[in-house]
Structure 1
Amino acid sequence: MTAHEGSNQRQSRRQFARRALSGGVGATLAAAAGATGAVAQVGGPIRSFDHVAIPMRNTDAMLSFYRALGFTVMEGANICSVHFGDNKINLHRPEFWQSGTFTLRASAAEPPCGDFCFVWDGTVDALKVMLDGAGAEVIIGPVERTGGRDGGTASGTSHYIRDPDDNLLEFIVY
């Protein structure tokens, strides 16, 4: 890839992100598909995430870490997953994503590539106790942040940590 092609890809991603923030998911997907005229209604049939997926480097350390944070962990031959509520994060084992045969993934995704924000239903003090108990080092926080609730206008208190693969994890208390 040339420097010019890389610059065009970054510019395209920034434009996509700006459309997503200003026009919502429906408008962004329609624009990305080249649609003109009527756009999907914001808040339409897309209700929530089902799961996200990332590759991982160190299976044992990652699964131990997420267990210590209180996630339910499931282990499969190629993919492990961590669950919370009705959500999950698929963690692709190194031998799976590095094999060259698994192509149903972001082509350039390599650890660390995740940035996740979790809603903590307890207090800020209880969050600190849980993070300390898991051996997680808070790299930033407590800090006030605008989260995804109430159409992206709700304010909460966040703490940021990193998992063993260096993915960024944010815990927000509303």
Structure 2
Amino acid sequence: MAALLSQNPNPDEMAQLWQIARDAICGLFTDAETSPPQLDQYPARLTRPGACFVTLEVNGQLQGCLGSLVAHTPLVLDVYQKARASACEDQRFAPLTSSQLDALSIEVSVLSEPELLEVRSEEALLAYLAEHRVGVILSDQMHRGVFLPQVWESLPEPADFVSHLKRKAGWRSDDWPPGIEVRVFTVTSIRRML
């Protein structure tokens, strides 16, 4: 089994990952077919399995955000795949167009491995989140919702954060179903205009 990405990418590595995302998206609008990154052209740490999200905004408005929670493929390939998917496959949005490129910002977020958080109630989760601005995954047998830590910028109150996350997952905001599982994670991210 391949070794997982064991520590956060450094700023130079994050810049390389951002460039991969940029090239993947720009390649959608050229006549030449773009290929996935060649693993031998990157530091070994970036070719280990990693999980990422790629978030696209146009004029500051969300245009696409897709990612993976579990490291299953080399990080450079995950970034490439998620960048293309965020541009064309996020069903909440129409596919990105070439006319939007001038106002496009790309954010690459590399996730730490999600850790199970033992909480017995929503109140316990809210108390934890009052002290820790982390990414959160709520799930049970039928539902799952994920918020990256960046969501705290628009939902700074733990109660609002959790309420919106539950609705995103498909629960009512006042639900706390038996068997709900909470996982938390951090990210290392880079955001730049195209």
Structure having the larger proportion of residues in helix: 2
TM-score range, shorter chain: under 0.3
Structure ranking higher on relative contact order (CA contacts 8 Å, 6+ apart):
2
Question: Of the two, which has the highest radius of gyration?
Answer: 1
* TM-score normalized with structure 1 length: 0.26
* TM-score normalized with structure 2 length: 0.24
